[in-house]
Structure 1
Amino acid sequence: MAKVLCKELMENDPRQPPEYSYFCPMEAVKLPKQILARQHEIVAEFIREVNKHVEDIAAGRATEMIEIRDFAQLMHIHPTHLSNTIKLTTGQAPCFFFEEKIMEVSRRLLSETNDPIANIAMQLTYDPSNFTKFFKRFQGLTPKQYREQVYREKMEAIAV
């Protein structure tokens, strides 16, 4: 459907000058360069805010995860516009960037600290059992298995 829609947009709007183009997941779509620049600016700002927020959660400076509408409010744009812009520009949903950063922080906390997994889960605003499911879905290992793997790799590196 997207391929057909993109193709129809190109074919049915000959008024667009050729220097205006943008990558669509399926085909090229004509968009003014100003809009293209703003889309990348929105995505970059969103990713900065996500990274900052998850680091604040990990450091204890924030106590609850915020949602896409809260990020949109911080950025002074509509949540639907934010979500659609991220999806169109990157091909990924906004939650992808959130989950990616949470996994990065989770792996760091599991490998660099001896904190109990339940404490890490609560620090990241998860119930321990939900954190284990979340972590395993993205890492392929439970947090305990991941920590043990990292420990074994460190011991092997020391032994060599």
Structure 2
Amino acid sequence: MKKDIERHVFNSLKEQYLFQNLPTDLIDDQTDFTIHNIRDIHPVLPYTSIVYRVNFFSFVFVKSGTGRYTTDEQIYTTRPGTIYFTNPGHFKSFEWQELDEVYLITLSESFLKENVHADIFEEFPFLLAETVAPRVLPPEEFAVFEQLYLLLKKEYESTSFYRNKVIGNLFVVLLLKIKEFFWKDYNPIYEGNRSSQIVKTFKRGLEKHYRDMSRGVIDKPFRVQEYAASQGLHPNYLSNVIKTKTGKSISTWVSEKTIAEAKSLLQNSTKSIKEIAYLLGFGESTHFSNYFKKHTRQSPVVYRKELKS
């Protein structure tokens, strides 16, 4: 089943719609941002999608419609007043029984960073939350978002030279309203058991990876991206959870583990400094020696000599 799902990975909404034999004339190829009323895409109801992954963000605003969607193993119903979003990397599917006005916004991470600002995830960390449950708003509160997404649609359909920048600024307002209504006090630590499991899995993965490196099974350290990919998470989100739950950044965990493994190899093996450097992913022994000295104030040679004495 997972192998089938992995074949359905889409980098854009147009790519997804083409695969699903859905109309794409409402999608502009010149930008990584889209907005349209889903009613115009699904003339025949009910509609059930395949299970797939995407590499972009999706925001859905249900003024009038009913259905449900899944993200990984979570199943949520959608009804009038529902607002929800999903981020890249998760297993997804959806179905619609009724559609009248349901607006979908999609955009890439690069669009966010280029047209909103580079530190978008610091201001709006909830964008990287693993799974965020939908919210259902009363009509008067939903109207605030309706006004914003209709403004976004109008700008999306314009030919202005500044279109993407205007869309970016309007989207900031939309995110601020989402933050105000839904996640004003968002913090990954409050995601409870799942965040704790993420930390445990990261620690186990870190330990296994360095164990494999010291045995020569793997020849380079993982980056944040690899640790995140192993759990199907966004790198920024994993970093946020680890830092919040442990008080230490991933880079600190990695550097501490590197030094611990280096000390163990220097003490318990007869391998040369060059061999140890290679096992720990350093291309040159001088880089390893400088790294070790930076973190211990001793060179590997001096450390090993002191142990012998």
Q: Same fold (TM over 0.5)?
A: yes
Against the structure 1 CA distance between its residues 43 and 33, is the aligned structure 2 distance closer, same or farther, given a 3 Å change threshold?
closer
The answer for the alignment partner of 1:150 in structure 2 is 307
Q: Tell me the secondary structure at the aligned position of residue 66 of structure 1.
A: coil
Larger Rg: 2
Q: Is there any run of 5+ residues in structure 1 with no aligned partner, and where?
A: 1-12, 14-28, 153-160
Q: TM-score, normalised by structure 1?
A: 0.72
Which position in structure 1 is the counterpart of 2:215? 59
Alignment of 1:22-37 (within 5 A): 35-37=191-193
Partner of 1:102: 258
Q: Letter of the aligned partner of 1:137 in structure 2? A: K
Indicate the percent of aligned positions where both proteins have the same amino acid: 27
Deviations 1:83-136 (A, max 9, x none): 011111112110111111111111011011222111110111112111001111
Instruction: State the match for 1:46 in structure 2.
Output: 202
SS at match of 2:192: helix
Deviation at 1:78, TM superposition (A): 0.9
Task: Give 2:229's aligned amino acid.
Answer: Q
Structure 1 segments of 4+ aligned residues over 4 angstroms from their partners: 29-34
Letter in structure 2 aligned against 1:59: R
Aligned to 1:139: 296
Q: Which amino acid aligns with 2:207?
A: N
- Listed as ranges, the gaps of 5+ residues in structure 2 are 1-179
Whose helix fraction is larger, Structure 1's or Structure 2's?
A: 1
- What is aligned with 1:124? 280
Distance of 1:136 and 1:111 partners within structure 2 = 16
Aligned to 2:235: 79
Cα 1:33–1:57 change in 2 (3 A) is closer
State the AA in 1 paired with 2:273: I
Alpha-carbon distance in structure 2 between the residues aligned to 1:72 and 1:33 = 17
1:89 and 2:245 correspond: yes
TM-score (norm 2): 0.38
Q: Which has the higher strand share?
A: 2
CA RMSD in angstroms, aligned pairs only = 2.3
> Which structure ranks higher in relative contact order (CA pairs < 8 Å, sequence separation ≥ 6)?
1
Amino acid at match of 2:206: V
